[in-house]
Structures are given as C-alpha cells and as structure tokens.
Amino acid sequence: MAKTLAVSPLAPAAFPDLPVIGGVRFAAAAAGVRYAGRTDVMLAMLDPGSTVAGVFTRSATRSAPVLDCQDKIGHDSAEGAAIIVNSGNSNAFTGRNGIEATRAVIHAVAVATGLPEERVFSSSTGVIGEPLPHERITAKVDQLVGALDETGIAGAARAIMTTDTFPKGAMATVDLPGGQVKIAGIAKGSGMIAPDMATMLVYVFTDARIARADLQAMVSDINARSFNCITVDSDTSTSDTLLMGATGASGVTVTAADTAFTTALEAVFLDLAHQVVRDGEGATKFVTVEVTGAASDADARTHALSIANSPLVKTAIAGEDPNWGRVVMAVGKSGAAADRDLLTIRFGDVLVAEKGWVSPDYREEDGAALMRQPEITIHVDLGLGQGKATVWTCDLTHGYISINADYRS
C-alpha cells in the first residue's frame, strides 16, 4: 500500500464542484498498477465530432505514451476519442516493453469502445524505468467502459495522483453571443515539476465547438503563460502531457480570436498550475517571482526561473529568512543581462535593496515578518528595459527529501 502523505497546508479547502461537460464521460478503477487497493486508472470518453489538442514534454527521454500521443495529436477526425491514464508507473525508459505496453493498452481501449487506435490517447505517470504491468490495466478496460459517467471527473482526478496530496480541479463558464459554454479540467503533479513545453498530466474539457487548429493554438499559447511558468524542483518529467478536448455539445462555436473564452481558459490553466505548486512535495510556502525591467521578456523569464529554482533561495524561504543576498546571487548566475548597480529587490511590499545596495529604509524585522506569510512575492527590477515575466514556485523543505528519498519503497 502506498504511504499516505499529509495534505499540503497550501491545499484548497475542497475539490471544486466541476460542471458536467456535455459530450464527455469518465470512469476510474483500481488496477493495482503499483499499489493494491488504490484507484489508479481513469478513462475519459469523448463523443464523435470532438477535437483534441495537446502539448508534451520536450525531454529527450520522454516516455512511450508521450511519443505515441505526439504522433496522433495533429490529425483531424470525425470519430470520438478516448484518453486512458494510469498512475504508479510512468512507462518511461522501458525500451521495447514500453512501446508494446502502450500498444496493448491502446488496442484494448479501441476494441472496447469501437474507436480506431488513432483516436485513443494514453498517459502514464509514476516510477521511471520499471516495466508497465499493462495486463493489469487491460483487464480493467471493460469495467471502465461500463462505468463511464458524465459526473465522474472527480474520481478521474483522484486516479491520476502519485505523490499528490490532493486532487486538482478547476472550472469556468463563459457567456458568449451564441450561448454559454463550460470548461472543466483536472491535473496531477507534485514533484519533478519544471515543465518544458508542457505540464505534468493535465486534462481539460469544454463543450464549445472548436476547430482542431484553433484549439491547438489556444492550448500552446496559454500553456506558455501558465504551466510553463511553474517550477517545484527544476526537474522536467519524462511524461509531461496536456490534452484538451472540445466536444461541441453546447452548439456554440469558438475560435482562437474569442477573447472571452481564451481568458476563461487561461484562468483554468493558471488555477491548475498554481494548485500543482501548492502541492509541491513538502511545500509550506507559495511563491510568486516577478521580474521587470529586463532587457527582454526572455531574459526576464531566465532571471525569474533562476530565482525560483535556486535551492538557496528556496531553503531561505522555508526557513523564513529574508536573505536577499541569495536573490542577488540567483540573478547574477542566470546568464541573462543584469547590472548590479541598477538592481531593485522587494519582498512583498517591503523594499529591500535598490541601486545595487540595501535600502537605507529596510528593516530586517519587516522582511522576516513578510517571510512568515504562507504566500510570498519576490519582485526584482533589473532597470535595463521593458522585459517582464512571472513564475510560480514553492519553498524547499525537508519534506521534499523525505518524500523522494524513499519514493520507490
């Protein structure tokens, strides 16, 4: 049986009441992929006419399911679609066995649902380097198909958890000239979080009617400002996948130019991304890093990630130590343009340093009081240009070591 982790102190009060998305149904089951008695497989079934888009990790060691999804994602089809996900085993770094396991799972779902294999998308998350016991999953496929229910998304969110301490969900409704559309999404992620092109595992659904090319444009664009701007530990997963399905059940057509819809979708993406950070392994602080005044947006992002990924910065935050010198260090090492004598640093609304020196008005007790808060903002202005970026991270505590030191046991 898997160890039970204490729920993150930064967790939401409860899983949200997600709306039913017409045209998609969910089911979950306990297949014993790694742990007995734990719900660990979920199936989502989308009606014919649905479009699917996605983004994926750019890791050079990405898993067999990721590679399979990448091969399929760019094709149009009037068929329905299915997404099957297992937790407990990532099916990554498993050689030919990984390919064969992926094919076996996809084939079983295709047979049970009547879909072509090209419309079955799979994901796996968990331990790397161990063969996936795919027969445990395929043995549950008929049960999953028989249990499909439009209200089953909460169970699906729990089935995809690994070291997560709470299931993650977010939603939005949007009133458009053609009528109301709904968005609902679930995610998993807690450690090995530093997305590169994609996310952890994220599945978002809407009842809007959206052409695949428009859906892909939305997903790629919004992902860059949400999931690709979070980091827990600087480690990019082999399995990062974001899939989004648009069923069209509402009858309302949406394009990439519909700003009301894209704004709502971005809010859902950001909500889920922030929940992943709030569930960072061992996290006790939610940290926003804002960088302004950089030579370019790209430089700002480089500086922000350097700060957010610094073990010294993250442990200072865990210890509630306003050690601004570590922020200076992280800016200096990032490789992006910086001028020591133009640097300004704030912790929340506390001005800590300006013009390359500690502010004469700064009081250590003010910085320490700010660091005791559960949510902290670090703001750095480079004084060089108009570039800006925001990323989100968490602190680094002994809990992270405890969780990961015995992850496979």
Closest CA to 159 of 185, 186, 197, 127: 186
Pick the more confident residue, 328 or 355. 328
Span 215-219, average pLDDT? 97
- Cα 364 off chain centre by: 35
CA 123 → CA 40, 103, 144, 241, distances in Å?
12, 12, 16, 7
Strand, helix or coil for residue 169: strand
pLDDT of residue 288: 98
- pLDDT for 3 equals 59
Whole-number Cα distances in Å, 96 to 92, 93, 126, 134: 11, 9, 18, 13
pLDDT of residue 151: 98
At residue 32, the pLDDT reads 96
Among 111-125, 205-219, 232-246, the least confident range:
232-246
pLDDT category of residue 24 using cuts at 50, 70 and 90: very high
**Residue range 40-77, pLDDT digits in tens:** 999 999 999 999 999 999 888 999 999 999 999 999 99
Q: What is the pLDDT of residue 45?
A: 98
231 is catalytic: no
> How would residue 191 be classed by pLDDT, with cut points 50, 70 and 90?
confident
Amino acid code (one letter) for 178: G
Percentage of the chain surpassing pLDDT 90? Answer: 87
**What pLDDT was estimated at residue 409?**
52
- Asked if 82 and 50 touch (Cβ cutoff 8 Å), the reply is no
Local confidence band at 408 (pLDDT 50, 70, 90 cut-offs): low
Choice among 113, 138, 199, 247 that is catalytic: 199
Q: What are phi and psi of 180, to 5 degrees?
A: -90, 140
- Position 343 scores a pLDDT of 96
Residue 1 has pLDDT above 50, yes or no: no
As a whole number, mean pLDDT of residues 331-340 equals 97
DSSP H helical ranges for 114-204: 134-138, 141-146, 153-159
More confident residue, 193 or 172: 172
pLDDT of residue 402: 83
How many whole angstroms separate alpha carbon 281 and alpha carbon 368? 24
The answer to whether 199 and 189 are in contact (CB under 8 A) is yes
Does the structure show a pLDDT above 50 at 258?
Answer: yes
Mean pLDDT across 76-86: 96
pTM metric for this prediction = 0.94
Q: pLDDT digits over 347-375, tens only?
A: 999 999 998 899 999 999 999 999 999 99
261-303: per-residue pLDDT in tens?
A: 999 999 999 999 999 999 988 899 999 999 999 999 999 999 9
Tokens of 27: 């089911």
* Whole-number average pLDDT of the chain: 94
**How confident is residue 2, by pLDDT bands cut at 50, 70 and 90?**
low
Give, to the nearest 10 degrees, the angle between helix 311-318 and helix 324-333.
160
Mean pLDDT of 341-348: 97
